[in-house]
Amino acid sequence: MSTAHHTSRTGRVDGATESTFVDGVEEDLDGAASFTAHGGDWAQIAEEAARLGEERIVVNMGPQHPSTHGVLRLIIELDGETVREARVGIGYLHTGIEKNMEFRTWTQGVTYCTRMDYVAPFFQEVAYCLGVEKLLGIEAPERATLVRVLLMELQRAASHLVAIGTGGNELGATTIMTEAFTAREEILKIFELVSGLRMNHAYIRPGGLAQDIPPGTTAAIREMMPRFFQYVGHLHKLIDANPIMKGRAIGIGYLPLSTAMSLGVTGPILRSAGLPFDLRKDDPYCGYETYDFKVPTSSDADAFSRILLRFDEIDESMRIVEQVMDRIDAQDRAGGSHPVMVADPEVRWPAQLAIGPDGQGTSAAHIREIMGHSMESLIHHFKLVTEGFRVPAGQVFVDVEHAKGNLGVHLVSDGATRPYRAHFRDPSFTNLQSLAAMCEGGQIADVVVAVASIDPVLGGVDR
């Protein structure tokens, strides 16, 4: 049962000790009116407020709205143009991903979790696979870990560009969006080269990768980077030298450090308030402690500082990408075998995934590799693919530094070939709690700026 509190123009609220009820309105003895609505929909509450002659109105922003970053519904109570109360309504993109994962093998679970935050799928894939590997008591080979870091940092840059570009578009600056998406396109081409897909890759697998990166991948990235930085440089100038953009974003969506920490906010929002919290530094995984990079921070804690902070994070991510490519190139020059999947036959498929010349199906060489050993090998491959591998009973929590903040995965195994429970702590879901603190007391036009600075993706929020 929901409860909404509305105050009259006198500013009095519920809770007066002496009052009478007149036509459903609680009227204090001094004449100040207030009312409480129980249950029902906000449309009914708004209609009742209008009937009672209240100056405040309740409006819906979304769930189908170009400035809500997806199917997000905001219930906003207005006093003129001033936001008095802002509530978040979610669930319109609920897909049952976590529940569906209970009915699929551990490997098939990657195909589900990659679709949560569809703007940054590699982070979900890595976090989930790290959790499965921890339950199994195994570690992915060095080559697989290098490729994971490479893809995550490219993904971080691509995700930040979506945040910056869509935020500009929502304020009417279409050029900012086109420039940001042009830069992002360079990264998506690399993803397509590596995994065959631009998004929803299912490329990271428990125990390693589906296959190694194709020859020439690092050369393609190095060839792409000058164009990428040129686009990002143009985008930075469009925003940093734009007085309208500054006027709309500076001082808007203010969220101090104390409030951010009390709400569990992480990622660029928290770092824009001055705290350099980053799991890559504070609780390293995938060998991040071996890379040289900084954690950018700001002290302004507003929407504009979050835009600039994301630019700084893009630069740091590309620094890490260069270091990873140097290590991969060194491995290639050294020659030898560099597996991307664990050797354990109970987990590893007998041969790496390989596609046919038409880009579909399995190649003849792949089939010969599977069938060329023995009938037992073929049967093992069939059972491993159809039934999956067993994971020892237990539970684990693993978190990684997503582009939007702290992404956690809680996995529970009962010893079967499928998860007993899979639950994700998505940063967009947690960060959305800060919207009310950012918006209340401000103007309705600034709600758009606040939502854009949070950068929520509703696929990750609803799951």
Q: Which residues contact 15 (CB under 8 A, 6 or more apart)?
A: none
Q: What is the pLDDT of residue 244?
A: 87
Q: Where are the alpha helices (DSSP H) in 335-405?
A: 364-371, 375-386
Asked if 155 and 199 touch (Cβ cutoff 8 Å), the reply is no
Backbone angles phi, psi at 196, to 5 degrees: 90, -5
Delimit the domains of the chain by residue range. 3-89, 107-347+389-462
Measured over the CA atoms of residue 9, residue 10, residue 15 and residue 20, the dihedral's sign is negative
- Determine the pLDDT at residue 322: 95
Cβ atoms 87, 64 nearer than 8 A: no
- Model-wide pTM > 0.85: no
For the chain (463 residues), the mean pLDDT of every run of 10, in chain order, is 36 36 45 52 66 71 75 86 87 90 91 90 94 93 94 95 89 88 94 88 90 90 94 90 86 89 92 92 92 92 92 94 94 86 80 52 65 70 83 94 94 93 93 90 88 89 85
Q: What is the pLDDT of residue 39?
A: 54
In this prediction, residue 382 carries a pLDDT of: 79
Position 52 scores a pLDDT of: 59
Q: Which CATH class is domain 107-347+389-462?
A: mainly alpha
Q: Return the number of other C-beta atoms located less than 10 Å from residue 4's C-beta.
A: 20
pLDDT at residue 270, as a whole number: 93
**Which residue(s) pair with 77 in the sheet?**
58, 85
pLDDT at 22: 38
